[in-house]
A and B are shown apart, each in its own frame.
Chain A
Amino acid sequence: MNSVIKGVGYVLAHTPDMVIENGTTQTTERIVNPESEYLKELPNHLRSFDEALAYWPNQVYIGNKTPMELAEIEQPWYDKACDETSRYGAYGQMMPEDEFILLMQACDVFDLVKLERGFVSAHKDALAQNPVIDESIMARIVEGVDASEIEQLIADDHAERICFGGELVGCVKPAHDIDVNLSAEIMLENIVEKASSVLSLLSLVHNTGIAKDEIEYVIDCSEEACGDMNQRGGGNFAKAAAEIAGLTAATGSDVRGFCAAPTHALVEAAALVASGAYKTVAVTAGGCTAKLGMNGKDHVKKGLPILEDMVAGLAVLVTVNDGVNPEIDLSVLGRHTVGTGSAPQVVIGSLVYDPLERAGLKVTDVDYFSPELQNPDITKFAGAGDVPASNYKMIGALGVKRGELERTQLADFVSQHGFVGWAPTQGHIPSGVPSIGYARDAMLAGDMERVMIIGKGSLFLGRMTNLFDGVSVLIKRNEGVQDEAAGVSETEVKSMIAKAMREFAATLIEQAE
């Protein structure tokens, strides 16, 4: 039987200081052009936490606004304050940088994150008040050290700076003197991934009400790599995050595939549950410091705020079919194979039309296509266009080429079957999955039948292959049949029927006699 989606956790951490300190556009600029106008101008374009709260796409991400409401707002969105400014939403929360820095320290198990004593005492209460942060997390926060110790670690030990409001408040130490895989820069990146993954998992547990020990397997699908010089990328972020989140009954592993990884992970989670290997699987991903301010030069040049100031995370809970929640339909899987090729039309054919055709469905049978959901506010001003809109146009255009749609229907197809994008450009995060929360709500309310999640990955960036990658899967409204593992089993029903038949037969025989 198909497995189902029991809930989601979507979180954002507002990290303007990490934009400056850790985003690769900025770290590269400091090397090649240290006196550049961009670096001087950048701090004037950073958003406050309140501005991040009032940003429409962020409110959609955490579930306080719907993608449909966002579509009604005229673009661009950065200059239009949202009327909803709560930091907590139906799917998760936006966390300010001070709390996130403390959460990073709570996620560090090798004494690498050193925070200044005064910073810890000033901000610890704020984290403790966070509804998803429990005592087990707070117990991991240590008192902190003197500012002089942090300065010394940065000056003498290549530690990475941690700042808040432009002030130095801590550092991440290297985990090894020689091994570049354990450098302070990598450790900071990995701890940020872990912390945002932990926050996503905690939000998932909070939202679904599932007991932590019911989660049996965790799949991490982020884009970071952890390991040392003998096993660069050995893993396992999934288990590391599950430990801090208190998922004591879970094991797990990491799935990688650039931006396509979350969709791969979702398919794998669904398959693990459908096969009976595990009853409950959480897919999780933390965010990425490297991509903070990635398109900042374009944004600053055009007078925009730095919109890539959010570290994002997501988590999806996959369980056995309960007869209620939306099903992950593994019979409708799109796959971009080694032999598919990279021409846009064959990519879209393999991800959209081939699986639908195999299932006897038409392109218009799918209510919404959910490809990469990058926020166009970020990409349009950086020369990458409107990525989700391009995807819908490609789907529609191929439909025209195949004769399934009229050319005149193209514009309507794009607006009727596509979401606008709201996800931050955190690589894997926009990969189709941010719509699952909304789609689940709509399906539970009976307002949506089918959504296709599409992930695409730029494998060539790793210089191991020139291949592109893509994967898709259909999520559909529950047909109302419970899996045996979730309630009365099919075998039990059969044995009950057999027993009734035997009793009936016995009665007939008695009557005959």
Chain B
Amino acid sequence: MDLENQKRVKEFTEQYGPENVVVLLGAADGEAAGLAAETVTNGDPTYAGPLTGVQLGLAVYHVVEPEVKAEFDDAVYDEQVSMMEMVLDVDDIINEMTSIRDQYCKF
């Protein structure tokens, strides 16, 4: 994850408390989604950014995952995202995200 984005995630978590922050991702594939999710839960796996070794354990979802999709306004999701379900490997994304949440998510 971009170093500046890591910094902002860290700052917002300190400001609002980790239990109040949810991260939503739009990564292009499962692996990238998993890496971003790992960064905001278990720390930056590339050891480059401000979240290196910082275990925030934040709630994190990819925007195409059913748990969050169920909460979106259907019309908004349909207009903004739905087409991409035909483009992205949704199952792969769900598997990677679920695995990271099961291991590292605290909220």
Contacts and interface: CB of A to CB of B under 8 A. Distances in A.
B6 to A, nearest CB: 11
A384 B79 contact: no
Interface string A362-397: 000000000000000000000111000010011011
Contacts of B46: 297
Contact of A394 (B29, B48, B83): B83
B28 A397 contact: no
Given A33-B47, A384-B28, A343 B86 contact: no
Interface residues of A, number: 24
Contact of B81 (A32, A297, A343, A383): A343
A400 B32 contact: no
B47 A393 contact: no
A394 B32 contact: no
B29 A401 contact: no
A345 B48 CA distance: 34
Contacts of B32: 383-385
Contact of A344 (B27, B47, B83): B83
B31 interface: yes
B80 interface: yes
B86 A397 contact: yes
B31 A36 contact: no
Contacts of B49: 32
Contacts of A390: 28, 87
Contacts of A346: 79
Contacts of A385: 28-29, 32
A396 B86 CA distance: 9
Nearest to B2: A461
A394 B82 CA distance: 11
Contacts of A32: 3, 48-49
Nearest to A461: B2
Interface in B63-84: 79-84
Interface of B: 3, 27-29, 31-32, 35, 46-49, 79-84, 86-87
22 contacts: A28-B3, A28-B48, A29-B48, A32-B48, A33-B47, A33-B48, A297-B46, A343-B79, A344-B83, A344-B87, A345-B83, A383-B32, A384-B28, A384-B29, A385-B29, A394-B83, A397-B83, A397-B87, A398-B83, A401-B82, A401-B83, A407-B86
Interface of A: 28-29, 32-33, 36, 297, 343-346, 348, 383-385, 390, 393-394, 396-398, 400-401, 407, 410
